[in-house]
Amino acid sequence: MRATEQFRGMHVLVLGLAKSGEAAAKLLHKLGAIVTINDSKPYADNSQAQQLEALGMKVICGHHPVELLSDLFQLVVKNPGIPYSNVMVQKAEELGIPVITEIELTSRMSEADIIAITGSNGKTTTTTLIYEMLQGSSKIPTIAGNIGTVSCEVVQQVTADHCIVLETSSFQLLGTIQFKPNISVVLNIFDAHLDYHGTKQEYIRAKSKIFENQNDQDWLIYNYDDQNLVEAVHYSNAKKIPFSTKEELKEGAYIKDGQVYFKQEPIMELNNIVLPGIHNLENILAAVAASLTMGATQYQIQDVLRTFSGVAHRLQFVGEVDGRRFYNDSKATNNLATKKALGAFQNPVVLLAGGLDRGNSFDELIPAFERVHTVIVFGETKDKIRDVAKRAGIKTIVEAQWMEDAVSVAFKHSTKGDVILLSPACASWDQYRTFEERGNRFIQAVKALSVD
């Protein structure tokens, strides 16, 4: 971590704890800042706040007292999930106090190079691929951000010999001022988080902050097939490296003659890559471009692509039982993610779908049901998904109560060669605390089938 006096004696408000707020508070305290913490969780139930108070920080819990903010404060570090409509954030902006997220601190403090990855879909897979591909390279990779450890913790451990592979969200990026990765990777931009950003234009603006401060010593890797991105990156000063699954790009990553290419050099044959789906091919191209630019070896890239079958809960291959291949895509909490998952397979599919009802329609899934012959529905949205499946011409639609029932019923209605896919298109909170819990229940049910 860089030695700095820039925060010593500075009055900083950390707004919202969770992992990122706690890490930011501890880092700022270590750097000599006068830290005040404001968290909505009551003090009696807030072990994080109690621990930070014991370290000498002031804590105010249970509510957001707008009168707390004054021009005494020089910086606000907010939890990414707190919207800009929050009264504390609005007051800070009225007073002209900069409002940032913790990745801004990481960027300012890091001795290590940073590869930052963002996009509406595919961030975690691409981040993981880059991290794995950089193993054994001249830079020691460390994974951070939305995946792995909070970046404010990682930055305290790394040196110039390291590389931070950082997954970033639009929520985090919007709270940046000087953030400048050595390599930025932008995978795609779809309509997402509009309840937070307001409009698609504002969402694109937030994503574009990943490369806003880059210069001609930095690299920007972007999806050439995404017109939103092509327009957005036009104004970047970074060296641009495009990737495409559709066009041959002499200065980028692309597909040609059944192989992955990077800058006209063949990297690996497609039939040796185990990760399924055209969307994952985009993630692979982005990861190859970033990894080679940072100094990865072609051998390590090939080794990763021969063995990497996906990250947990994101089109994760679980196993094969009596000729049926099971995939856990519990992270698919919206229509777009489920459409991409269904498009990844050529085999007949038994789909498990349903969950929390947010009031949206599922009509856009109908064209994606081309290879689906059976749908197992569950959760609050079961009737909506049943209706969509009927209109898509699906003959077999079965209701299940819990994930164990859904897996058992799916197996009974499948044949050898089928893919049995959990891709719910819904959040999990009607039945499970997290999508991870839902996915783990799926995995356990598949393993129980194997035992039987």
Q: Would you list which residues are annotated within the binding site for ATP?
A: 119-125
The amino acid at residue 212 is E
Query: Which residues does the annotation place in the binding site?
Result: 119-125
Those residues with Cβ within 8 angstroms of residue 377's Cβ, 6 or more apart along the chain or in another chain? 353, 354, 383, 385, 386, 389, 397, 398, 399, 400
Those residues with Cβ within 8 angstroms of residue 353's Cβ, 6 or more apart along the chain or in another chain? 338, 375, 376, 377, 378, 381, 385, 423, 424, 425, 426
For strands 316-321 and 324-328, give the pairing: antiparallel
Angle formed at CA 167 by CA 164 and CA 173, multiple of 5 degrees:
105
Please give the DSSP secondary-structure letter assigned to residue 147.
Answer: S
DSSP structure string for 250-302 = TTSEEEETTEEEETTEEEEEGGG----SHHHHHHHHHHHHHHHHHT--HHHHH
| Cross-sheet strand order for the sheet of 419-422 | 316-321, 324-328, 419-422, 349-353, 372-377, 396-399
**Size of the chain, expressed as the number of residues it contains:** 452
DSSP structure string for 384-433 = HHHHHHHHTT-SEEEE-SSHHHHHHHHHHT--TT-EEEE--SS-STTT-S
Nearest CA-CA partner of 336 in 279, 385, 282: 279
Nearest CA-CA partner of 301 in 277, 278, 279, 273: 273
The amino acid at residue 113 is D
Rounded distance, CA 7 to CA 224, Å?
Answer: 40
Sign of CA dihedral 195, 174, 146, 64: negative
